[in-house]
């Protein structure tokens, strides 16, 4: 623990010290310089070509996860549909083979 905190005049001394601390003067055109640096940083982050822009767009996590989810869902949906149709055709062929000789078809 700081010894100053226990001193009876501690708060007064702290206030005097804060007042005596001089804040340095801002350099000329400080604000303009800050904005210029921000603009330069944004300009350097901008992609160089449409290919880079597309790659950056593709790598966005939200888009990547959404696309993967859509592809997964579409794959499952189509696969189940195809699989059940193929099983249906197989069952139909089995019935036909039982009731209708292949030579008559």
Partner 1 sequence: MNRSLVILFGALALGVAVFAGSYFVSQRAAELCCARPVDDLIWLRDEFHLSDAEMQRVRRLHESYLPQCAEMCAKIAAKKTELQAELAGGTNVIADAQVKLTELGELRAQCQAQMLRHFITVSQAMPPEQGRRYLAEMKQLTLGASELMEQSMSGDAGHEHQH
- Binding positions for partner 1, rule: CB under 8 A: 49, 51-52, 54-55, 58-59, 64, 67-68, 71-84, 86-88, 90-92, 94-101, 103-105
Residue with tokens 């083979």: 97
Secondary structure letter of residue 3 according to DSSP: H
Residue with tokens 């195809």: 82
Nearer to partner 1, 23 or 103 (CB): 103
CA 27 to chain centre: 39
Nearer to partner 1, 2 or 103 (CB): 103
- Alpha helices (H) in the chain, listed in sequence order: 3-6, 10-20, 30-45, 50-58, 61-99
Report in angstroms how near the CB of residue 72 gets to partner 1 at its nearest: 5
Residue 33 CB contacts under 8 Å (≥ 6 apart), including other chains: 27
Report in angstroms how near the CB of residue 44 gets to partner 1 at its nearest: 17
Nearer to partner 1, 15 or 70 (CB): 70
Nearer to partner 1, 29 or 74 (CB): 74
Phi and psi dihedrals of 46, rounded to 5? -70, 135
Report in angstroms how near the CB of residue 13 gets to partner 1 at its nearest: 60
Report in angstroms how near the CB of residue 63 gets to partner 1 at its nearest: 10
């Amino acid at each position: 623990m700081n010894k100053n905190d226990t001193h009876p005049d501690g708060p007064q001394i702290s206030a005097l010290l804060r007042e005596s601390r001089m804040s340095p003067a801002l350099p000329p055109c400080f604000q303009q310089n800050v904005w210029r640096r921000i603009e330069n940083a944004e300009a350097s982050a901008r992609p160089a070509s449409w290919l880079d822009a597309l790659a950056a767009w593709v790598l966005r996590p939200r888009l990547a996860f959404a696309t993967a989810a859509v592809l997964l869902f579409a794959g499952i949906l189509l696969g189940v549909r195809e699989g059940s149709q193929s099983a249906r055709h197989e069952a139909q062929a089995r019935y036909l083979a039982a009731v209708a000789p292949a030579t008559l078809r």
